């Protein structure tokens, strides 16, 4: 058919009154900056997303290998990633979602880079969320488990000690890649966390957003009879509270139930 003979209606402008509402995410909008290798956090964040809260994701290019050097290299990429999230400036909170990366780069640098990209949002990081979560439950003496190699564990122990916690133990699984960390079964993490508990610990902390520890945090608490903090639980709780969302959620530990 000759395109000049097609019966295409001429476009016109709507002449009535246009009504706009607050959109689907009227309560809050939260942005998470993830590693490209990340395979756990996105599911966890969506599982705990309250109605009316928008969750938005950006990813940083990174190798599968998780070392001090590869994590430090992420710093310069944080601002561009944050800038790609809701460029209309409506985002309430932006978070860099990597426990080890947060402590290697440092909270102050992470927050500054995120706010270069998203100046209207409250900036936070996964390690900052963990620290606030531990303080919220009143923990001072903690036993820590991670999937990391020794150099990352040493940095984390020093970081948390500087934040005012008595790190009673720091036990790592010596995994070097995200692709290994995401394959650690939740049942193993349950047994691992229970094995770390000691009578003088106020709480057990399982570090790393790649681990599927959110699935068993409630079971671990019931087994050891004390609060348990895991990275994604703390991160999601922290970003929701910073956004003004105070919803209590059952089934994910003392932190979400009571704080």
Given this model, what pLDDT does residue 218 score? 98
Given this model, what pLDDT does residue 2 score? 58
Given this model, what pLDDT does residue 8 score? 87
Distance CA 134, CA 232 (A): 13
Given this model, what pLDDT does residue 106 score? 87
Distance CA 172, CA 155 (A): 12
Given this model, what pLDDT does residue 3 score? 54
93: Cβ contacts below 8 Å, ≥ 6 apart:
28, 29, 30, 31, 121, 122, 123, 124, 239, 242, 243
Distance CA 38, CA 141 (A): 30
Given this model, what pLDDT does residue 110 score? 94
For the chain, strand residue ranges (E) read: 28-35, 53-60, 93-96, 122-125, 141-146, 166-172, 203-206, 228-230
Domains and CATH numbers, the chain: 28-125+234-252 (3.40.50.12500), 129-230 (3.40.50.1860)
| Dihedral angle computed from the Cα positions of residues 196, 37, 134 and 248, in that order, rounded to the nearest 10 degrees | -110
Q: Are 239 and 93 in contact (CB under 8 A)?
A: yes
Neighbours of 210 (CB within 10 A): 27
Residue 237 CA: distances (Å) to CA of 5, 41, 159, 225: 60, 13, 21, 21
Angle between the N-to-C axes of helices 186-196 and 217-224, in degrees from 0 to 180, rounded to the nearest 10: 30
pTM of the model: 0.92
Given this model, what pLDDT does residue 4 score? 60
Q: Would you write out the chain's pLDDT as a tens digit for each of its 259 residues? A: 555 667 888 999 988 999 999 999 999 999 999 999 899 999 999 999 999 999 999 999 887 777 788 888 889 999 999 999 999 999 999 999 988 788 889 889 999 999 999 999 999 999 999 999 999 999 999 999 999 999 889 999 999 999 999 999 999 999 989 899 999 999 999 999 999 999 999 999 999 999 999 999 999 999 999 999 999 999 999 999 999 999 999 999 999 999 9
């Amino acid at each position: 058919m000759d395109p000049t003979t097609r019966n295409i209606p001429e476009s016109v402008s709507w002449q009535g009154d246009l009504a706009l509402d607050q959109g689907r995410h009227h309560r809050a909008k939260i942005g998470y900056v993830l590693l490209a290798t990340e395979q756990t956090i996105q599911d966890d964040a969506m599982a705990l997303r309250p109605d009316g809260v928008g969750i938005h994701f950006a990813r940083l290019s990174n190798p599968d290998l998780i070392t001090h050097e590869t994590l430090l290299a992420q710093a310069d990429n944080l601002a561009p990633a944050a800038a790609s999230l809701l460029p209309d400036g409506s985002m309430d909170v932006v978070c860099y979602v990597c426990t080890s990366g947060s402590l290697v780069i440092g909270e102050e640098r992470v927050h500054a880079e995120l706010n270069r990209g998203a100046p209207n949002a409250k900036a936070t990081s996964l390690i900052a969320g963990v620290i606030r979560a531990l303080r919220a439950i009143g923990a001072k003496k903690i036993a820590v488990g991670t999937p990391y190699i020794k150099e990352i564990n040493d940095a984390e122990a020093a970081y948390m000690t500087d934040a005012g916690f008595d790190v009673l133990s720091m036990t790592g699984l010596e995994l070097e890649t995200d692709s290994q960390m995401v394959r650690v079964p939740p049942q193993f993490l349950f047994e691992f966390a229970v094995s770390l508990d000691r009578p003088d610990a106020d709480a057990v902390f399982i570090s790393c957003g790649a681990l599927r520890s959110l699935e068993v945090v409630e079971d671990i608490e019931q087994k050891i009879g004390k609060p348990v903090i895991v990275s994604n639980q703390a991160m999601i709780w922290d970003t929701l509270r910073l956004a003004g969302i105070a919803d209590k959620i059952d089934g994910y530990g003392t932190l979400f139930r009571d704080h």
